[in-house]
Structure 1
Amino acid sequence: MLKDEIDSLAPGRDFSRRNFVQTTVGSGFAAAVLPVTAQTITTDTAGLEAGTVSIKVGDFAMPAYRAQPAGKKNLPVILVASEIFGVHEHIADVCRRFAKQGYLAIAPELFVRHGNAGAYTETAKLIAEVVSKASDAQVCGDLDATVAWAAANGGDTAKLGITGFCWGGRTTWRYVAHNPKVAAGVAWYGPVARSYHPGDKTAVELAASIKAPVLGLYGAADGGIPVDTLTQLENALKAAGNTKSEMVVYPDTPHAFYADYRPSYRKAAADDGWAKCLAWFKKNGVA
Protein backbone atom coordinates (compact mmCIF):
# COMPACT_ATOMS: atom_id res chain seq x y z
CA MET A 1 0.00 0.00 0.00
CA LEU A 2 1.39 3.42 -0.96
CA LYS A 3 0.65 5.93 1.75
CA ASP A 4 0.54 9.13 -0.32
CA GLU A 5 -2.13 7.89 -2.74
CA ILE A 6 -4.32 6.61 0.11
CA ASP A 7 -3.90 9.42 2.61
CA SER A 8 -4.81 12.05 0.03
CA LEU A 9 -8.28 10.55 -0.28
CA ALA A 10 -10.73 11.78 2.34
CA PRO A 11 -11.81 9.22 4.95
CA GLY A 12 -15.45 8.18 5.06
CA ARG A 13 -16.16 8.90 1.41
CA ASP A 14 -18.78 7.01 -0.58
CA PHE A 15 -16.89 4.46 -2.67
CA SER A 16 -19.92 2.53 -3.96
CA ARG A 17 -19.71 1.32 -7.56
CA ARG A 18 -23.10 2.81 -8.39
CA ASN A 19 -21.45 6.25 -8.25
CA PHE A 20 -18.93 5.33 -10.95
CA VAL A 21 -19.98 5.87 -14.54
CA GLN A 22 -17.38 5.58 -17.28
CA THR A 23 -18.41 4.67 -20.79
CA THR A 24 -15.25 5.86 -22.56
CA VAL A 25 -11.74 6.89 -21.59
CA GLY A 26 -11.85 10.33 -19.98
CA SER A 27 -15.55 10.08 -19.10
CA GLY A 28 -16.60 10.02 -15.46
CA PHE A 29 -14.48 10.01 -12.33
CA ALA A 30 -12.71 6.98 -10.88
CA ALA A 31 -14.71 5.13 -8.25
CA ALA A 32 -12.01 5.47 -5.61
CA VAL A 33 -12.18 9.27 -5.64
CA LEU A 34 -15.95 9.74 -5.40
CA PRO A 35 -17.70 11.90 -4.45
CA VAL A 36 -15.83 14.71 -6.16
CA THR A 37 -15.61 18.09 -4.46
CA ALA A 38 -17.46 21.30 -5.29
CA GLN A 39 -14.37 23.08 -6.62
CA THR A 40 -13.89 20.56 -9.45
CA ILE A 41 -12.84 22.40 -12.61
CA THR A 42 -14.51 21.63 -15.94
CA THR A 43 -12.97 22.83 -19.20
CA ASP A 44 -15.26 22.94 -22.23
CA THR A 45 -14.49 21.61 -25.70
CA ALA A 46 -15.33 24.81 -27.61
CA GLY A 47 -12.83 25.19 -30.44
CA LEU A 48 -11.33 21.78 -29.78
CA GLU A 49 -11.25 18.31 -31.26
CA ALA A 50 -11.49 16.12 -28.16
CA GLY A 51 -12.36 12.57 -27.28
CA THR A 52 -11.22 8.98 -27.29
CA VAL A 53 -8.78 7.66 -29.90
CA SER A 54 -7.21 4.25 -30.44
CA ILE A 55 -3.44 3.80 -30.63
CA LYS A 56 -1.84 0.69 -32.08
CA VAL A 57 0.88 -0.84 -29.92
CA GLY A 58 1.88 -3.89 -31.90
CA ASP A 59 -1.29 -5.99 -32.09
CA PHE A 60 -2.88 -4.16 -29.15
CA ALA A 61 -5.33 -1.26 -29.50
CA MET A 62 -4.71 1.14 -26.61
CA PRO A 63 -7.38 3.75 -25.84
CA ALA A 64 -6.33 7.32 -25.12
CA TYR A 65 -7.97 10.70 -24.59
CA ARG A 66 -6.86 13.42 -26.99
CA ALA A 67 -7.61 17.14 -27.13
CA GLN A 68 -6.27 19.67 -29.64
CA PRO A 69 -7.31 22.94 -31.32
CA ALA A 70 -9.78 22.14 -34.10
CA GLY A 71 -8.42 22.24 -37.63
CA LYS A 72 -4.82 22.95 -36.60
CA LYS A 73 -1.69 21.08 -37.68
CA ASN A 74 1.95 20.96 -36.58
CA LEU A 75 0.97 21.36 -32.95
CA PRO A 76 3.41 20.95 -30.08
CA VAL A 77 2.68 17.71 -28.24
CA ILE A 78 2.17 17.09 -24.53
CA LEU A 79 1.94 13.53 -23.23
CA VAL A 80 -0.21 13.43 -20.08
CA ALA A 81 0.52 10.53 -17.72
CA SER A 82 -2.32 9.81 -15.31
CA GLU A 83 -2.48 9.18 -11.61
CA ILE A 84 -3.05 5.62 -10.40
CA PHE A 85 -6.77 6.08 -11.18
CA GLY A 86 -6.23 5.99 -14.93
CA VAL A 87 -7.56 8.35 -17.58
CA HIS A 88 -10.73 9.58 -15.90
CA GLU A 89 -12.46 12.96 -16.19
CA HIS A 90 -9.78 14.98 -14.38
CA ILE A 91 -7.02 13.78 -16.69
CA ALA A 92 -9.22 14.45 -19.73
CA ASP A 93 -9.82 17.95 -18.40
CA VAL A 94 -6.07 18.51 -18.06
CA CYS A 95 -5.74 17.55 -21.75
CA ARG A 96 -8.40 20.12 -22.63
CA ARG A 97 -6.56 22.76 -20.57
CA PHE A 98 -3.43 22.16 -22.63
CA ALA A 99 -5.41 22.13 -25.87
CA LYS A 100 -6.81 25.57 -25.02
CA GLN A 101 -3.17 26.70 -24.87
CA GLY A 102 -2.50 25.43 -28.39
CA TYR A 103 -1.22 21.92 -27.71
CA LEU A 104 -2.09 18.47 -28.92
CA ALA A 105 -2.42 16.82 -25.50
CA ILE A 106 -2.89 13.09 -25.22
CA ALA A 107 -3.34 10.77 -22.25
CA PRO A 108 -2.97 7.05 -23.05
CA GLU A 109 -4.69 4.52 -20.78
CA LEU A 110 -1.49 2.82 -19.61
CA PHE A 111 -3.19 0.41 -17.17
CA VAL A 112 -5.81 -1.02 -19.51
CA ARG A 113 -4.00 -4.32 -20.12
CA HIS A 114 -4.21 -5.11 -16.41
CA GLY A 115 -7.73 -4.00 -15.53
CA ASN A 116 -10.06 -1.02 -15.28
CA ALA A 117 -8.30 1.31 -12.85
CA GLY A 118 -11.35 3.58 -12.72
CA ALA A 119 -13.67 0.85 -11.46
CA TYR A 120 -11.73 0.01 -8.28
CA THR A 121 -13.15 1.30 -5.02
CA GLU A 122 -10.19 0.22 -2.86
CA THR A 123 -6.94 2.06 -3.56
CA ALA A 124 -4.68 -0.59 -2.03
CA LYS A 125 -6.29 -3.28 -4.18
CA LEU A 126 -5.98 -1.08 -7.27
CA ILE A 127 -2.26 -0.65 -6.66
CA ALA A 128 -1.69 -4.35 -6.04
CA GLU A 129 -3.80 -5.72 -8.88
CA VAL A 130 -3.35 -3.12 -11.62
CA VAL A 131 -0.79 -0.36 -11.04
CA SER A 132 2.05 -2.62 -9.91
CA LYS A 133 1.71 -4.70 -13.08
CA ALA A 134 2.42 -1.80 -15.44
CA SER A 135 6.17 -2.11 -15.93
CA ASP A 136 8.40 0.69 -17.13
CA ALA A 137 9.16 -1.34 -20.26
CA GLN A 138 5.46 -1.56 -21.12
CA VAL A 139 4.74 2.07 -20.23
CA CYS A 140 7.66 3.46 -22.23
CA GLY A 141 6.65 1.33 -25.22
CA ASP A 142 3.08 2.60 -24.95
CA LEU A 143 4.29 6.20 -24.77
CA ASP A 144 6.54 5.66 -27.78
CA ALA A 145 3.47 4.47 -29.71
CA THR A 146 1.55 7.52 -28.48
CA VAL A 147 4.26 9.83 -29.80
CA ALA A 148 4.09 8.08 -33.18
CA TRP A 149 0.30 8.48 -33.22
CA ALA A 150 0.60 12.18 -32.41
CA ALA A 151 3.11 12.69 -35.22
CA ALA A 152 0.65 11.13 -37.69
CA ASN A 153 -2.33 13.11 -36.40
CA GLY A 154 -1.43 16.78 -36.39
CA GLY A 155 1.41 16.86 -33.86
CA ASP A 156 4.92 18.21 -34.24
CA THR A 157 6.93 15.78 -32.15
CA ALA A 158 10.06 17.88 -32.54
CA LYS A 159 8.26 19.90 -29.86
CA LEU A 160 7.52 17.07 -27.41
CA GLY A 161 6.83 17.42 -23.72
CA ILE A 162 5.50 15.15 -21.01
CA THR A 163 3.74 15.85 -17.74
CA GLY A 164 2.09 13.63 -15.16
CA PHE A 165 0.66 13.37 -11.68
CA CYS A 166 1.73 11.05 -8.84
CA TRP A 167 2.33 7.72 -10.66
CA GLY A 168 2.36 9.82 -13.81
CA GLY A 169 4.84 12.21 -12.20
CA ARG A 170 7.23 9.33 -11.69
CA THR A 171 6.46 8.21 -15.26
CA THR A 172 7.50 11.68 -16.43
CA TRP A 173 10.98 11.26 -14.96
CA ARG A 174 11.16 7.73 -16.35
CA TYR A 175 10.10 8.58 -19.88
CA VAL A 176 12.50 11.52 -20.14
CA ALA A 177 15.27 9.06 -19.23
CA HIS A 178 13.99 6.66 -21.90
CA ASN A 179 13.36 9.02 -24.84
CA PRO A 180 16.09 11.54 -25.71
CA LYS A 181 13.69 13.29 -28.10
CA VAL A 182 11.60 14.68 -25.22
CA ALA A 183 12.34 18.41 -25.06
CA ALA A 184 11.06 18.97 -21.50
CA GLY A 185 9.02 17.44 -18.71
CA VAL A 186 6.95 18.61 -15.75
CA ALA A 187 6.54 16.08 -12.93
CA TRP A 188 3.77 16.75 -10.42
CA TYR A 189 4.43 15.05 -7.06
CA GLY A 190 5.86 11.88 -8.58
CA PRO A 191 7.91 9.64 -6.26
CA VAL A 192 11.63 9.81 -7.07
CA ALA A 193 13.10 7.24 -4.69
CA ARG A 194 10.73 4.31 -5.25
CA SER A 195 9.06 2.54 -8.14
CA TYR A 196 5.70 0.82 -8.48
CA HIS A 197 6.57 -2.24 -10.55
CA PRO A 198 8.99 -4.70 -8.91
CA GLY A 199 12.50 -4.35 -10.30
CA ASP A 200 12.03 -1.00 -12.01
CA LYS A 201 14.59 1.70 -11.24
CA THR A 202 13.84 4.89 -9.35
CA ALA A 203 14.28 8.38 -10.76
CA VAL A 204 17.35 8.80 -8.55
CA GLU A 205 18.87 5.67 -10.06
CA LEU A 206 18.03 6.91 -13.57
CA ALA A 207 19.42 10.41 -13.07
CA ALA A 208 22.38 9.93 -15.41
CA SER A 209 19.95 9.20 -18.26
CA ILE A 210 17.75 12.25 -17.65
CA LYS A 211 19.16 14.80 -20.07
CA ALA A 212 16.18 17.06 -20.81
CA PRO A 213 15.09 19.79 -18.37
CA VAL A 214 12.43 18.53 -15.96
CA LEU A 215 10.49 20.73 -13.54
CA GLY A 216 9.44 18.94 -10.37
CA LEU A 217 6.40 20.32 -8.51
CA TYR A 218 6.04 18.95 -4.98
CA GLY A 219 4.41 19.58 -1.62
CA ALA A 220 6.51 19.79 1.52
CA ALA A 221 3.72 18.07 3.50
CA ASP A 222 3.52 15.08 1.15
CA GLY A 223 3.90 12.13 3.53
CA GLY A 224 4.86 9.72 0.76
CA ILE A 225 7.60 11.81 -0.88
CA PRO A 226 10.16 13.05 1.68
CA VAL A 227 11.83 16.32 0.69
CA ASP A 228 15.25 14.76 1.23
CA THR A 229 14.57 12.36 -1.67
CA LEU A 230 14.03 15.38 -3.92
CA THR A 231 17.39 16.73 -2.79
CA GLN A 232 18.91 13.34 -3.62
CA LEU A 233 17.58 13.54 -7.15
CA GLU A 234 18.65 17.16 -7.58
CA ASN A 235 22.18 16.26 -6.53
CA ALA A 236 22.26 13.19 -8.79
CA LEU A 237 21.07 15.24 -11.78
CA LYS A 238 23.68 17.93 -11.21
CA ALA A 239 26.40 15.31 -10.81
CA ALA A 240 25.35 13.89 -14.18
CA GLY A 241 25.54 17.32 -15.81
CA ASN A 242 21.83 18.16 -15.89
CA THR A 243 21.81 21.66 -14.44
CA LYS A 244 18.61 22.80 -16.17
CA SER A 245 16.16 20.71 -14.15
CA GLU A 246 14.52 22.37 -11.14
CA MET A 247 12.48 21.46 -8.08
CA VAL A 248 9.70 23.62 -6.64
CA VAL A 249 8.52 22.57 -3.18
CA TYR A 250 5.43 24.31 -1.83
CA PRO A 251 5.44 24.75 1.98
CA ASP A 252 2.65 23.13 4.02
CA THR A 253 1.24 21.53 0.87
CA PRO A 254 0.05 17.90 0.62
CA HIS A 255 0.20 15.27 -2.08
CA ALA A 256 -2.18 15.75 -5.04
CA PHE A 257 -2.46 19.51 -4.56
CA TYR A 258 -3.36 20.00 -8.24
CA ALA A 259 -6.25 17.49 -8.10
CA ASP A 260 -9.12 20.00 -7.96
CA TYR A 261 -11.70 17.21 -7.60
CA ARG A 262 -10.20 16.02 -4.28
CA PRO A 263 -9.92 17.51 -0.76
CA SER A 264 -6.12 17.62 -1.20
CA TYR A 265 -6.50 20.48 -3.72
CA ARG A 266 -4.67 23.68 -2.83
CA LYS A 267 -5.68 26.43 -5.24
CA ALA A 268 -2.73 28.77 -4.71
CA ALA A 269 -0.13 26.05 -5.25
CA ALA A 270 -2.13 24.53 -8.13
CA ASP A 271 -2.46 27.86 -9.95
CA ASP A 272 1.19 28.69 -9.44
CA GLY A 273 2.25 25.22 -10.55
CA TRP A 274 0.12 25.42 -13.70
CA ALA A 275 1.62 28.80 -14.62
CA LYS A 276 5.12 27.44 -14.03
CA CYS A 277 4.27 24.33 -16.07
CA LEU A 278 3.18 26.34 -19.11
CA ALA A 279 6.15 28.71 -18.82
CA TRP A 280 8.54 25.74 -18.51
CA PHE A 281 7.35 24.13 -21.71
CA LYS A 282 7.54 27.42 -23.61
CA LYS A 283 11.01 28.17 -22.24
CA ASN A 284 12.27 24.75 -23.29
CA GLY A 285 10.97 24.54 -26.84
CA VAL A 286 7.57 22.89 -26.37
CA ALA A 287 5.36 25.63 -27.79
Structure 2
Amino acid sequence: MSADEFTTQWVQLGEGAGDGPEGYIARPTRREPAGAVIVAGEMFGVPGHLRDICGRFAAHGYTAIAPDFYWRHQRRSQFGYEEPEYGQAMTLMKGLRRDEALSDVAAARVTAQQYAGGGGTAILGFSVGGHIAMLAATERPFDLVVNYYGGWLLDGGIPMAEPLPPVARSEAIAANSGFVLGFFGAHDFVMSLDEWHRIGSHLDAAGVAHEQITYPEAGHGFFNDERPDYYDEMAAKDAWQRTLDALAQHVRSD
Protein backbone atom coordinates (compact mmCIF):
# COMPACT_ATOMS: atom_id res chain seq x y z
CA MET A 1 0.00 0.00 0.00
CA SER A 2 1.48 3.35 -1.00
CA ALA A 3 1.26 6.65 0.87
CA ASP A 4 -1.70 7.80 -1.21
CA GLU A 5 -3.69 4.85 0.08
CA PHE A 6 -3.96 6.12 3.64
CA THR A 7 -5.04 9.39 5.21
CA THR A 8 -3.70 11.24 8.23
CA GLN A 9 -5.24 13.83 10.54
CA TRP A 10 -5.53 14.91 14.15
CA VAL A 11 -8.70 13.69 15.89
CA GLN A 12 -10.33 14.10 19.24
CA LEU A 13 -9.87 10.91 21.24
CA GLY A 14 -12.60 9.12 23.12
CA GLU A 15 -16.12 10.38 23.54
CA GLY A 16 -15.39 13.69 25.26
CA ALA A 17 -15.60 17.28 24.11
CA GLY A 18 -12.82 19.36 22.61
CA ASP A 19 -11.06 19.92 25.92
CA GLY A 20 -9.71 16.36 26.06
CA PRO A 21 -6.78 14.56 24.43
CA GLU A 22 -6.11 14.50 20.73
CA GLY A 23 -4.29 11.92 18.67
CA TYR A 24 -2.60 11.74 15.30
CA ILE A 25 -4.33 9.05 13.24
CA ALA A 26 -3.26 7.30 10.05
CA ARG A 27 -5.71 4.88 8.44
CA PRO A 28 -6.07 3.01 5.17
CA THR A 29 -8.56 4.37 2.68
CA ARG A 30 -8.86 1.68 0.00
CA ARG A 31 -9.75 -1.21 2.27
CA GLU A 32 -11.31 -1.95 5.63
CA PRO A 33 -8.73 -1.64 8.41
CA ALA A 34 -7.34 -4.99 9.55
CA GLY A 35 -7.10 -3.77 13.16
CA ALA A 36 -5.84 -0.80 15.15
CA VAL A 37 -2.60 0.07 16.90
CA ILE A 38 -2.17 2.72 19.60
CA VAL A 39 1.39 4.01 19.21
CA ALA A 40 2.94 5.64 22.28
CA GLY A 41 6.14 7.42 21.30
CA GLU A 42 9.37 8.41 22.97
CA MET A 43 9.41 11.43 25.24
CA PHE A 44 9.47 13.89 22.30
CA GLY A 45 5.71 14.29 21.90
CA VAL A 46 4.31 13.47 18.46
CA PRO A 47 7.16 14.41 16.12
CA GLY A 48 7.58 13.54 12.46
CA HIS A 49 9.33 10.26 13.25
CA LEU A 50 6.33 9.00 15.24
CA ARG A 51 3.88 10.19 12.59
CA ASP A 52 5.92 8.33 9.98
CA ILE A 53 5.63 5.14 12.04
CA CYS A 54 1.86 5.56 12.10
CA GLY A 55 1.94 5.89 8.32
CA ARG A 56 3.96 2.68 8.05
CA PHE A 57 1.31 0.81 10.02
CA ALA A 58 -1.45 2.32 7.87
CA ALA A 59 0.43 1.22 4.75
CA HIS A 60 0.14 -2.33 6.08
CA GLY A 61 -3.61 -1.98 6.55
CA TYR A 62 -3.87 -0.96 10.22
CA THR A 63 -5.31 2.16 11.76
CA ALA A 64 -2.59 3.75 13.89
CA ILE A 65 -3.18 6.38 16.57
CA ALA A 66 -0.45 8.33 18.38
CA PRO A 67 -1.96 10.02 21.45
CA ASP A 68 -0.71 13.45 22.52
CA PHE A 69 0.12 12.76 26.17
CA TYR A 70 1.35 16.32 26.79
CA TRP A 71 -1.90 18.04 25.79
CA ARG A 72 -2.52 19.32 29.30
CA HIS A 73 0.53 21.57 28.94
CA GLN A 74 1.07 22.00 25.19
CA ARG A 75 -1.08 20.59 22.41
CA ARG A 76 0.38 18.65 19.47
CA SER A 77 3.84 19.06 20.88
CA GLN A 78 6.95 17.85 19.10
CA PHE A 79 10.46 18.28 20.42
CA GLY A 80 13.89 17.91 18.87
CA TYR A 81 16.71 15.73 20.12
CA GLU A 82 19.07 18.54 21.15
CA GLU A 83 18.96 21.11 23.95
CA PRO A 84 16.97 23.04 24.92
CA GLU A 85 14.14 20.96 23.43
CA TYR A 86 15.53 17.71 24.83
CA GLY A 87 15.33 19.11 28.35
CA GLN A 88 11.85 20.48 27.78
CA ALA A 89 10.67 17.05 26.66
CA MET A 90 12.34 15.39 29.64
CA THR A 91 10.56 17.76 32.04
CA LEU A 92 7.17 16.97 30.51
CA MET A 93 7.87 13.23 30.53
CA LYS A 94 8.85 13.24 34.19
CA GLY A 95 5.76 15.30 34.98
CA LEU A 96 3.37 12.85 33.36
CA ARG A 97 1.34 10.99 35.98
CA ARG A 98 -0.03 7.48 35.88
CA ASP A 99 -3.69 8.47 36.00
CA GLU A 100 -3.17 10.96 33.15
CA ALA A 101 -1.47 8.43 30.89
CA LEU A 102 -4.07 5.76 31.62
CA SER A 103 -6.92 8.21 30.97
CA ASP A 104 -5.40 9.18 27.60
CA VAL A 105 -4.87 5.53 26.63
CA ALA A 106 -8.47 4.74 27.54
CA ALA A 107 -9.66 7.55 25.25
CA ALA A 108 -7.33 6.38 22.47
CA ARG A 109 -8.62 2.83 22.86
CA VAL A 110 -12.21 3.98 22.32
CA THR A 111 -11.21 5.71 19.09
CA ALA A 112 -8.98 2.81 18.01
CA GLN A 113 -11.85 0.36 18.32
CA GLN A 114 -14.02 2.65 16.22
CA TYR A 115 -11.48 2.45 13.40
CA ALA A 116 -10.27 -1.13 13.85
CA GLY A 117 -12.51 -2.59 11.16
CA GLY A 118 -12.96 -6.27 11.84
CA GLY A 119 -9.61 -6.62 13.60
CA GLY A 120 -8.38 -6.37 17.16
CA THR A 121 -6.56 -3.64 19.06
CA ALA A 122 -2.90 -3.45 19.98
CA ILE A 123 -0.81 -0.98 21.94
CA LEU A 124 2.83 -0.39 21.11
CA GLY A 125 5.34 1.96 22.67
CA PHE A 126 8.91 3.21 22.39
CA SER A 127 11.00 4.08 25.47
CA VAL A 128 8.64 5.91 27.86
CA GLY A 129 5.91 4.88 25.42
CA GLY A 130 6.89 1.27 26.08
CA HIS A 131 6.36 1.96 29.76
CA ILE A 132 2.95 3.42 28.96
CA ALA A 133 2.07 0.36 26.87
CA MET A 134 2.93 -2.02 29.69
CA LEU A 135 1.17 0.21 32.22
CA ALA A 136 -1.95 0.25 30.05
CA ALA A 137 -1.88 -3.55 29.94
CA THR A 138 -2.38 -3.62 33.70
CA GLU A 139 -5.70 -1.81 33.31
CA ARG A 140 -7.14 -2.43 29.82
CA PRO A 141 -7.52 -5.46 27.54
CA PHE A 142 -5.39 -5.55 24.40
CA ASP A 143 -4.92 -8.32 21.88
CA LEU A 144 -1.24 -7.44 21.61
CA VAL A 145 1.16 -5.32 23.67
CA VAL A 146 4.51 -4.40 22.10
CA ASN A 147 7.28 -2.81 24.15
CA TYR A 148 10.30 -1.29 22.41
CA TYR A 149 12.95 -0.67 25.12
CA GLY A 150 10.48 0.68 27.65
CA GLY A 151 12.16 1.61 30.93
CA TRP A 152 11.30 1.73 34.62
CA LEU A 153 9.15 -1.40 34.23
CA LEU A 154 10.15 -3.28 37.37
CA ASP A 155 12.56 -1.21 39.46
CA GLY A 156 10.74 2.09 38.87
CA GLY A 157 12.34 5.52 38.74
CA ILE A 158 9.73 7.92 37.29
CA PRO A 159 6.43 9.20 38.71
CA MET A 160 4.37 6.99 36.36
CA ALA A 161 5.98 3.93 37.96
CA GLU A 162 4.59 4.80 41.41
CA PRO A 163 3.36 3.19 43.57
CA LEU A 164 4.06 -0.05 41.66
CA PRO A 165 5.85 -0.38 38.31
CA PRO A 166 3.86 -2.18 35.61
CA VAL A 167 5.66 -5.52 35.71
CA ALA A 168 5.20 -5.69 39.48
CA ARG A 169 1.56 -6.17 38.52
CA SER A 170 2.20 -8.96 36.04
CA GLU A 171 -0.93 -10.83 37.15
CA ALA A 172 -3.01 -7.90 35.88
CA ILE A 173 -1.10 -7.95 32.59
CA ALA A 174 -1.85 -11.67 32.28
CA ALA A 175 -5.55 -11.00 32.84
CA ASN A 176 -5.73 -8.27 30.17
CA SER A 177 -3.30 -9.17 27.42
CA GLY A 178 -3.47 -11.64 24.58
CA PHE A 179 0.28 -11.50 23.99
CA VAL A 180 3.23 -9.32 25.06
CA LEU A 181 6.21 -8.79 22.76
CA GLY A 182 9.31 -6.97 24.00
CA PHE A 183 12.49 -5.66 22.33
CA PHE A 184 15.63 -4.60 24.17
CA GLY A 185 19.20 -3.66 23.33
CA ALA A 186 21.81 -5.15 25.65
CA HIS A 187 23.61 -1.78 25.84
CA ASP A 188 20.51 0.15 26.94
CA PHE A 189 21.36 2.97 29.36
CA VAL A 190 17.81 3.38 30.72
CA MET A 191 17.36 -0.17 31.99
CA SER A 192 19.92 -2.83 32.82
CA LEU A 193 20.10 -6.24 31.19
CA ASP A 194 19.57 -7.74 34.66
CA GLU A 195 16.26 -5.90 35.05
CA TRP A 196 15.24 -7.05 31.56
CA HIS A 197 15.87 -10.65 32.56
CA ARG A 198 13.97 -10.23 35.83
CA ILE A 199 11.03 -8.78 33.87
CA GLY A 200 10.90 -12.02 31.92
CA SER A 201 10.89 -14.03 35.14
CA HIS A 202 7.99 -11.99 36.52
CA LEU A 203 5.97 -12.39 33.33
CA ASP A 204 6.67 -16.14 33.32
CA ALA A 205 5.60 -16.51 36.94
CA ALA A 206 2.32 -14.69 36.27
CA GLY A 207 1.55 -16.76 33.19
CA VAL A 208 1.79 -13.87 30.72
CA ALA A 209 2.01 -15.14 27.14
CA HIS A 210 5.08 -13.29 25.90
CA GLU A 211 8.33 -13.22 23.97
CA GLN A 212 11.39 -11.11 24.75
CA ILE A 213 13.95 -10.34 22.05
CA THR A 214 17.40 -9.08 23.05
CA TYR A 215 19.79 -7.49 20.54
CA PRO A 216 23.36 -7.95 21.85
CA GLU A 217 24.90 -5.03 19.90
CA ALA A 218 22.06 -2.50 20.18
CA GLY A 219 21.29 0.12 22.79
CA HIS A 220 18.41 2.35 23.81
CA GLY A 221 16.47 3.95 20.96
CA PHE A 222 17.74 1.53 18.34
CA PHE A 223 14.58 1.95 16.22
CA ASN A 224 14.90 5.71 15.74
CA ASP A 225 16.63 6.27 12.40
CA GLU A 226 16.66 10.04 13.00
CA ARG A 227 19.29 9.54 15.73
CA PRO A 228 22.38 7.98 14.09
CA ASP A 229 24.17 7.48 17.41
CA TYR A 230 21.28 5.32 18.62
CA TYR A 231 19.93 3.67 15.48
CA ASP A 232 20.78 0.03 14.79
CA GLU A 233 19.56 -0.92 11.33
CA MET A 234 19.73 -4.68 11.81
CA ALA A 235 17.86 -4.62 15.11
CA ALA A 236 15.29 -2.12 13.82
CA LYS A 237 14.48 -4.17 10.72
CA ASP A 238 14.23 -7.40 12.68
CA ALA A 239 12.00 -5.84 15.36
CA TRP A 240 9.73 -4.27 12.73
CA GLN A 241 9.23 -7.59 10.94
CA ARG A 242 8.55 -9.36 14.22
CA THR A 243 6.02 -6.64 15.07
CA LEU A 244 4.22 -7.09 11.76
CA ASP A 245 4.21 -10.86 12.26
CA ALA A 246 2.73 -10.46 15.74
CA LEU A 247 0.05 -8.10 14.45
CA ALA A 248 -0.84 -10.60 11.75
CA GLN A 249 -1.16 -13.36 14.33
CA HIS A 250 -2.94 -11.54 17.16
CA VAL A 251 -4.72 -8.53 15.65
CA ARG A 252 -5.24 -8.80 11.90
CA SER A 253 -8.75 -9.63 10.71
CA ASP A 254 -7.92 -11.16 7.33
Q: Which residue of 2 aligns with 1:135?
A: 97
Does 2:239 align with 1:279?
no
Q: Which residue of 1 aligns with 2:173?
A: 210
When the two chains are superposed, the root-mean-square deviation of aligned CA atoms in Å is: 2.1
Deviation per CA, 1:185-244: give whole Å up to 9, x if none: 1100001232532624313312121122111101001122101111111111111112x2
Where structure 1 has 5 or more consecutive residues not aligned to the other structure, the ranges are 1-42
Q: Pick from 169, 190, 197 the counterpart of residue 150 of structure 2.
A: 190
Deviation per CA, 1:22-80: give whole Å up to 9, x if none: xxxxxxxxxxxxxxxxxxxxx97311111222225645232211111115445401000
Instruction: State whether residues 120 and 252 of structure 2, in contact with CA within 8 Å, keep that contact through their aligned partners in structure 1.
Output: yes
Instruction: State whether residues 45 and 78 of structure 2, in contact with CA within 8 Å, keep that contact through their aligned partners in structure 1.
Output: yes
Q: Which residue of 2 aligns with 1:126?
A: 89
Q: Return the letter of the residue paired with 1:167.
A: V
Q: Give the TM-score of the pair, scaled to structure 2.
A: 0.87
Q: CA deviation at 1:126?
A: 2.9
CA gap 1:56/1:160 in 2 versus in 1, 3 angstroms: closer
C-alpha distance in structure 2 between counterparts of 1:134 and 1:105, whole Å: 22
Percent identity between the two aligned chains: 27
Q: Which residue of 2 aligns with 1:256?
A: 221
Deviation per CA, 1:96-132: give whole Å up to 9, x if none: 000011101110101121336524724344323x112
Q: Aligned with 1:61: secondary structure?
A: coil
Q: CA deviation at 1:283?
A: 1.9
Q: Give the TM-score of the pair, scaled to structure 1.
A: 0.77
Instruction: State whether residues 44 and 78 of structure 2, in contact with CA within 8 Å, keep that contact through their aligned partners in structure 1.
Output: yes
Q: Which residue of 2 aligns with 1:54?
A: 12
Q: Which residue of 2 aligns with 1:176?
A: 137
Instruction: State whether residues 203 and 233 of structure 1, in contact with CA within 8 Å, keep that contact through their aligned partners in structure 2.
Output: no
Moved more, 43-52 or 101-110: 43-52
C-alpha distance in structure 2 between counterparts of 1:57 and 1:254, whole Å: 39
Between the two proteins, the alignment pairs up a number of residues equal to: 241
Where structure 2 has 5 or more consecutive residues not aligned to the other structure, the ranges are none
Instruction: State whether residues 147 and 183 of structure 2, in contact with CA within 8 Å, keep that contact through their aligned partners in structure 1.
Output: yes
